[in-house]
Amino acid sequence: MRAIKEAATEFLAHKRIAVTGVSRTPGSHGGNVVYQRLRDRGYEVFAVNPNADEVEGDVCYHDLKSIPGGVDAVVIATSPAHADSTMQECHELGIRNVWMHRSFGTGSVSDSATRFGREHGITVIDGGCPLMFEPCSDGGHEAMRFVFTMTGKVPRKV
C-alpha cells in the first residue's frame, strides 16, 4: 500500500480523466465540482452520465467506452451502488487509476468495487476528493482533507 498523497499525485499526473455521475443540474452534485475544477486546471476531462447528452455546456458520454481515445483515470462520483459496474468497465478498458469520491456520508465508495479493482491491478483511491490535493486543491478542500483524514473518510494509504 502507498500513502494517499503519493497515489493522489500519480492520479492527478494523468491528463485525460473521466468523471462519472456528473449531473445535468449544475451545482447539484460533487461530481460537477470535480469536473469543473479539473477542466479549469487544464485537464482533458470527460463527463459521464447515461442519462445526459450534455452537462456543464460540454458533451456528455453515456459510458466510459464511448469516450473517443479513452481515458487514463476515472473519478467515480455516483452512488456506491453504481461503483461496481464502473470498476468492472474500468478493468475491461484497461484503466488503471480510479478514485471513488467521498466527502460527506458514504460518497461513492463501495468496498466490493475497491476489492475488485485492487484484485485486478487497479490503483483505487477509496475516499476523499481529487480537489483536496495539488495541483487542484484550494484552502477549503485542504481543510476538508485534514478533517476527513481524521474521521477516516480520506484513507491514509491505498
- Has residue 134 been placed in a domain? yes
**CATH number for position 107:** 3.40.50.720
Per the CB < 8 A criterion, the answer to whether 158 and 125 are in contact is yes
- Has residue 75 been placed in a domain? no
Alpha-carbon distance of 22 to 49, in angstroms, equals 6
Count of structural domains within the chain: 1
Confidence of residue 28 (pLDDT cuts 50, 70, 90): low
Query: Where in the sequence is the domain holding 95, given as residue range(s)?
Result: 4-70+80-121+129-150
Helix (H, G, I), strand (E, B) or coil at 38: helix
- Has residue 158 been placed in a domain? no
- Has residue 40 been placed in a domain? yes
Beta bridge partners of 99: 75, 125
Query: DSSP letter at 98?
Result: E
Task: Give the global pTM.
Answer: 0.94
- The fraction of the chain above a pLDDT of 90, given in percent, is 84
- Has residue 155 been placed in a domain? no
Per the CB < 8 A criterion, the answer to whether 28 and 55 are in contact is no
- Has residue 61 been placed in a domain? yes
